Amino acid sequence: MYHYLYTYDVGRSIWVFSRSNGFAEVPSYSRHETCPGQAQGLVNVHEGLVLKPGVRKGTLITEDIEIPEADWLVTWWNADIAGNGSLAVFLQVEVAGQWSSWYPMGSWKHNPASKIFSDETGGVLVDTLKLALPAHKFRLKLELSAGTEQSIPGSVLLRRVGVISRNSAAQHSASKPYLLKESALLVPRRSQMTEDESIKNRICSPTCLAMSLDYFGINLPTSFVAASCFDTGAQIFGNWSFNVAALWSLGLRARLEYFLNFEFASAELYTGKILIASIRYGKGELAGAPVQQTDGHLVAVTGLKKDKTEGYMVLVNDPAAPDVQTVQRAYPLEQFEKAWNGYVYVIEGKR
């Protein structure tokens, strides 16, 4: 099943292979058409897309997907990997009437790895394909593998995969107060600063994952969660695609989203979802933050409240707090929107 929705210069495409409960509807995507593409060595069973019996490697290439003008593309997926199995995701774009080479968007396996790749058309930096000129079409290629060694078993079960495409020149608009909805979730608190010295300054994203898992009754050590999403290619813990994939592997259903303002985020929060948001800010630009400035940080957004004197405040669990007691924070909405790049992991619930 293929869904597509275009809103405010943002395209969202998703292929849902699982027919299990919870995958039938995706709130921010609308159904467009079935899109089998060109498949070799694969079969779609009730639970998802798998290799045919006796096949070690299978490939699916989608049909051409038309999108609004876009120069940034990001992929995400929910998949189960066993043994020596792996899932490799690629994008190809049409720019100025010419199709590009295939860009590697990530390899999900026992030790997942991204790959830096660039040419005259664009380049992949960790999880994002950035183009020199905007594209109007793309193709998605999925490679499912059981591994190259016959004696070592491997398997892949792909539930769904998505692509977000956007025009980086599109301006964010300020949220309209009358469209905002107040909410508050009591998400367990964790501080990355209480973890091992060798990783504590690099694990804001997996610490947010660990808090979200804990909220849904899956209590895992933060270090374990961090190891689950570590990108062995870029040597980082903050690969967006891998973090969404790790959430699924650890027991939660999640997807990547891009919102132009907090109106869309507040609607998701109002339905009980946790959002893990990517932010960056300079000195004095985010009042009440535990660190003065950052070039990239993730926080767990837990709600939105209207203060009589301060106006709307974004409720977060900020993993950069020095201890667990000070993790819960409230940031002025206007400042938060300026710091936020629009990307979030949407935690939909238990798988």
Distance CA(96)–CA(166), nearest Å, equals 17
pLDDT value of position 110? 94
Q: Which two tokens stand for residue 50?
A: 């798998």
Of 215, 179, 174, 185, give the one whose Cα is nearest residue 303.
Answer: 185
Q: How far apart are the first and last CA of the chain?
A: 19
pLDDT value of position 303? 98
**Start-end ranges of CATH 3.90.70.10 in the chain?**
177-350
pLDDT value of position 27? 56
**Start-end ranges of CATH 2.60.120 in the chain?**
2-166
Distance CA(348)–CA(351), nearest Å, equals 9
Distance CA(135)–CA(94), nearest Å, equals 6
- The pLDDT tens digits along the chain (351 residues) read 555 555 557 899 999 999 886 665 565 654 434 455 789 999 999 999 999 999 999 999 999 999 999 999 999 999 999 999 999 999 999 999 999 999 999 999 999 999 999 999 999 999 999 999 999 999 999 999 999 888 888 999 999 999 999 999 887 778 999 899 999 999 999 999 999 999 999 999 999 999 999 999 999 999 999 999 999 999 999 999 999 999 999 999 999 999 989 999 999 999 999 999 999 999 999 999 999 999 999 999 999 999 888 899 999 999 999 999 999 999 999 999 999 999 999 999 999
Does domain 2-166 sit in CATH 2.60.40? no
**Length of the chain as a residue count:** 351
DSSP-assigned beta bridge partners for residue 11: 6, 165
- CATH superfamily for domain 177-350: Cysteine proteinases (3.90.70.10)
